[in-house]
Amino acid sequence: MDVEAHRLELLRTFKNSAADLDANRAGRIGPDQVWRLRRGAVNSMLLMVAMVAGFAAIIIFVAARPITVWRWGLIAVVGVAGLAVGVHRGGQLRHALRDGRVECMAGPVRVAMRGRAGWWLTVADQSFHLPVRFWHVGPDLHYRVYVAPAAQLIVAMEPQLDLAELTASPIAFTHTGDAERPFTATATGVALLVQVNDFPAEPLYSVLADGVSLGDLDDWPTAWTRPATPEHLLSLAAQTPSGAALVAATSPLSAAALHTWATTLCTTTAADTETVLRALRFDGPLVDSLGIRRLETPPAQTTQTDVSESGGELFTVRFAPGPTPVTRGALDAELGAGRESVRIHWDSAHRVLYPVTAEGAPYTCDVIASFHDQPVADAIAFEVTLRRQRAN
């Protein structure tokens, strides 16, 4: 389904403007909708008056003369009932205008005929009269249905992307430069924004489509491509109490990230593990697991991060990459041609070493990538280790 084309179709069908839809998303009645509600309040009264007048005319002109008392009584009863219906409906519409609120109900919808009551739409276990033709609503699709609660009236609808389907689709994001909503992309004609929340108290990400929330994510989808975070935002985030942990959880593991971390290990003068990890912006707690010290919250795109010490100083940081691959070719392009280590045994891993130095730095650092098979350009590392040693 072309989501954008369907959204435009529903805008035309409901006779809404883009400003109306923006107002509905913000929980308000739109400017054109205000005018239509006012006209609807007046028309409901005029329609009932016309229907009662027509019924009375039929009785008066068709009935035999003289008109009996019971016919006059029938005219009076129908007139009062019709006017009551018109007054009630007009009052609902005027109440909706005064209230000014719009509620959004999202999810799959069902449309069904209810006899003379016409077509009704059910969403989020609530039913409303459908003010447009039923064929404008796709069966079993997800929609955002905007309702004026004071009148129980659907004022707008728009198709909603299904987050589960969206996360399974390959989407390449770019960086916005905004620390709160850093990632953006366009999918099926819809502008997506990924918002970073107050991690770890809240879900790591919230996904917005055209400014409307689709839901939350606890991790970056493997099918999505995430850009590197600009350095000025990394520095800004590191200044906040939870910024280092947030950066570690959202910055992707890549050759560029490994180069940055290796350089930081070279230039950081501190020796103790906790201080060095904070310099790397790995601020999560260390836990002991079968004699191995492990970051409780590993960096993004890694499934595990272990550290080791030698002589009371941090010695290695070992990453198990996640779904996003780290290839020999990417490491060579970022760090220069690597040097393959000698294999001790026939089934030993293939290891490629990349030395990283910084002028005047107290330490050197080796990036060591491990491969199961011959490390050709597109070979994927199953483990990457940063090894820190004092400079000679």
pLDDT of residue 291: 67
Say how many C-beta atoms besides its own lie within 10 A of residue 117's C-beta: 8
**Cross-strand pairs, 319:** 305, 384
Q: Return the axis-axis angle of helices 243-250 and 231-238, rounded to nearest 10°.
A: 140
Q: How far apart are CA 325 and CA 304, in angstroms?
A: 14
Torsion, Cα 72 75 80 85, to 10 degrees, reads 170
Retrieve residue 109's tokens.
């919808």
Q: Rg of the Cα trace of the chain?
A: 33
pLDDT of residue 244: 56
Q: For residue range 294-318, what is the model confidence (pLDDT) as tens digits?
A: 888 777 668 888 999 888 899 999 9
Confidence of residue 344 (pLDDT cuts 50, 70, 90): confident
Residue predicted with more confidence, 268 or 57? 268
Confidence of residue 160 (pLDDT cuts 50, 70, 90): confident
Q: Distances from the Cα of 98 to the Cαs of 40, 156, 179, 220, in angstroms?
A: 14, 18, 38, 43
Closest CA to 216 of 141, 166, 171, 172: 166
Q: For residue range 48-68, what is the model confidence (pLDDT) as tens digits?
A: 656 666 656 665 666 555 656
Looking at every residue in the chain, the average pLDDT score rounds to: 81
Rounded to the nearest 5 degrees, what angle is found at the Cα of 319, between the Cα atoms of 316 and 321?
A: 165
Rounded to the nearest 5 degrees, what angle is found at the Cα of 156, between the Cα atoms of 150 and 158?
A: 135
Alpha helices in the chain (DSSP H): 3-13, 18-25, 31-62, 69-99, 163-167, 231-238, 243-250, 255-267, 273-279, 328-335
Q: Return the axis-axis angle of helices 255-267 and 328-335, rounded to nearest 10°.
A: 50
Q: For residue range 195-253, what is the model confidence (pLDDT) as tens digits?
A: 988 766 788 889 988 777 888 988 778 788 877 666 666 666 656 656 655 565 556 67
Q: How far apart are CA 148 and CA 33, in angstroms?
A: 10
User: Can you tell me the mean pLDDT for 122-151?
Assistant: 88
pLDDT of residue 126: 92
Contact 213, 197 (CB under 8 A): no
Confidence of residue 329 (pLDDT cuts 50, 70, 90): very high
Q: How far apart are CA 73 and CA 102, in angstroms?
A: 42
* 337: phi then psi, degrees, rounded to nearest 5: -60, 125
Per DSSP, the three-state class of 162 is coil
One-letter amino acid of 210: D
